Structure 1
Amino acid sequence: MKIQLFTIAIAALTLYGCGTTQNKEIMNGDNTNDEKTITETKWVLETLEGKKIDTPKSGEEISFTMDAKENRISGYSGCNRFFGNFKLEDGNRINFSALGATKMACPDKAFNESEFLEIFGLADNYTITGNILSLNVGKRAPLATFRKLENKSETITEKYWKLKTLEGQNVVMSKNQAKEIYFMLKTDDNRVTGFAGCNTMMGSYTLEEGNRIRFSQMATTLMACPDVNVNEAEFLKIFELADNYTINGDTLSLNVGRRAPLAVFEAVYF
């Protein structure tokens, strides 16, 4: 009888232990998926201390991305680029440290960068609901909320971009021009291909966080086209100057800094 009671007791403890483990998993939550979701994703600022935030006049959204391999955070705070380290722990705990930023002058004071960057020093946990990320401190209302944004590199690449305006002037195709001026960014080997009005062009490109873009090793064929009314040198110059881009639907602008677009292109589908 004692042996039977002992066996029952062991079984009860085993069931209790399993139940306790399951309850802990439910209470703590399996945040493996959240950890994978929060990193390698671009998060665009939606609200700060409960206030809705609009896109800055620069046209670039306030955002950040977290690199899981290096435990590095990088982003754009309205005027300056910022960067630092982060650490993820069980229970959706998060800690940001060694945060730094560039020192560009920002004449537009509509957005308080210091107030935004301060949230990374305060935040100690996060929650993800659908496509919305909240950075929190304790159990109080979110310090800031962010919207998940898909990687835009897939939007700008593998598209036929037809030139619409160059330095603010509309571009009209000449009657004897072989084809319209355009370029494409090919994902294989990060190649640039296109047509500059008379000559075929080629080169390389790199895309970085914050809609940054760099063109290099740009070259063209050496055909002479005396009858074509197009300034190829002026068009090719934009690839030397451009350091960022903005995209709105099927319209792409290549820019340098925060000035007016160097050139505007329209996506053409065949």
Structure 2
Amino acid sequence: MKKKFTIVSFIILILMGCHSSKPTMGGATGGSEMLYKYKWYLTALQGQPFTFIGNDNYAHLLFTAGQPNKVTGSTGCNKLNGLYNLTGINFIKFSPLATTRMACPGNTEAQFTDALSQVNNWSIANEQLLLSNGKIVVAKLNGVSMETEKLSGTWDLNYISGLKIAFDGLYPDKKPFISFNFSTKELGGNTTCNGFSSKYTIAGNNIHFADALKTMIFCEGGGEEAFLNMLKKVNKYKLADDNMLTFLIDDVAVMRFTKR
């Protein structure tokens, strides 16, 4: 009797396993809610860094769950939209994607849309989305939360603390400006006479910048040095009305920017 019970139990377990392996069509499955949490900026394509940027528009994807599931975004030049289907756990298939018809330099747009047509599975780790064909990764994308996305655009400096010289005296002609590159996770911009870039990390409203790399034009006055030195000390940020950005050291406002 005990042996018979064991065999029956074994058969039931096999049937349960077969049932659980059947793919589920449609909406969020297998943790796919993570797909909808971020805007995904393209960083690598077919194993190579993706650097094409056109018309101030970074290549990205935005997933929306529904019936049907929709994907929108940009190739870096043209807007794109289409449908995708999730099957089982971490399987994904894009329908042919439609794009606007603006002429684009090179063939990177075609490479991007062709890569997406090859994709059949996905994975997410450390806010990075991998789109793959089998075990071959065809595209890597960095995830940016909708709150961090509000930092997009160009920001002009209008206040910096800790200096005896008036702001207009420190920057009599040009004012420094910054812009976030979500694809490379870099802050770029201009110090008033040199272009610069700096890697950043963001966690909540905490932000940190690495040492900046810049061009080597000689700058008169101390405006550039003051700007870069203060940027390195910043550890928090605050947005007001999506049009005013404040950098802080702890709770003290030290730099303020307005959105163009």
Normalised TM-score (structure 1): 0.49
Q: CA deviation at 1:78?
A: 1.1
Q: Deviation per CA, 1:191-247: give whole Å up to 9, x if none.
A: xxxxxxxxxxxxxxxxxxxxxxxxxxxxxxxxxxxxxxxxxxxxxxxxxxxxxxxxx
Matches within 5 A, 1:203-218: none
Q: Aligned Cα RMSD in Å?
A: 4.0
Q: Using the alignment, how far apart are the partners of 1:78 and 1:34 within structure 2?
A: 28
1:57 CA displacement: 5.8
Pick from 158, 162, 177: which aligns with 1:164? 158
Equivalent residue, structure 2, for 1:103: 101
Question: Residue 36 of structure 1 aligns to a residue in which SS?
Answer: helix
Q: Closer, same or farther in 2 for the Cα pair 1:68/1:132, shift >3 Å?
A: same
Change (3 A) 1:55 1:98: closer
SS at match of 2:101: coil
Q: 2:202 aligns to what?
A: none
Residue 16 of structure 1 deviates from its aligned partner by 5.2
CA distance in 2, matches of 1:268, 1:120: 38
Deviations for 1:132-175, whole angstroms, at most 9, x for unmatched residues? Answer: 222122x2411111122211467459xxx88739xxxxx959xx
Distance 1:82 1:251, change over 3 A: farther
Of 124, 140, 143, which aligns to 1:145?
140
C-alpha distance 21-71 of structure 1, shift in aligned 2 (>3 A): same
- Which structure has the larger Rg over C-alpha atoms? 1
AA at the equivalent of 1:267: T
Q: Percent identity?
A: 21
- Tell me whether 1:118 sits opposite 2:97 in the alignment: no
Q: Number of residue pairs matched?
A: 166
Aligned partner of 1:220 in structure 2 is: none
Instruction: Name 2:72's counterpart in structure 1.
Output: 74
| Partners of 1:50 and 1:144 within 8 A in 2 | yes
What code does the residue aligned with 1:105 have?
A
* 3-state SS of paired residue (1:103): coil
Distance 2:237 2:102 in 1: 31
Are the aligned partners of 1:164 and 1:266 in contact in 2 as well (CA < 8 Å)? no
Of 84, 87, 107, 2:85 maps to 87
Offset of 1:61 from its aligned partner?
2.6
- What CA distance in whole angstroms lies between the structure 2 residues aligned with 1:128 and 1:9? 45
In structure 2, what is the equivalent of residue 53 of structure 1?
50
**Conserved in 2, the CA contact under 8 Å of 1:40 and 1:65?**
no
User: Is contact 2:30-2:89 (8 Å) kept?
Assistant: no
Residues 49-84 of structure 1 show CA distances to partners (whole Å, capped at 9, x for unaligned) of: 101123626554321011002511001111111111
Alpha-carbon separation, structure 2, partners of 1:250 and 1:104: 37
Q: How does 1:1-270 map to 2 (within 5 A)?
A: 4=1, 7-15=2-10, 17-18=12-13, 21=16, 32-54=29-51, 56=53, 58-69=55-66, 70-106=68-104, 108-109=105-106, 112-137=108-133, 139-152=134-147, 155-156=150-151, 164=158, 266-267=245-246
The SS at the match of 2:130 is strand
TM-score normalised by the chain length of structure 2: 0.51
Q: Which whole-Å CA distance do the structure 2 matches of 1:41 and 1:133 have between them? A: 10
Q: Deviations over 1:82-126 (max 9, x none)?
A: 1111111103221111411111233x43x6111111112111222
Q: Which runs of 5+ in 1 are unaligned?
A: 166-170, 174-248, 253-263
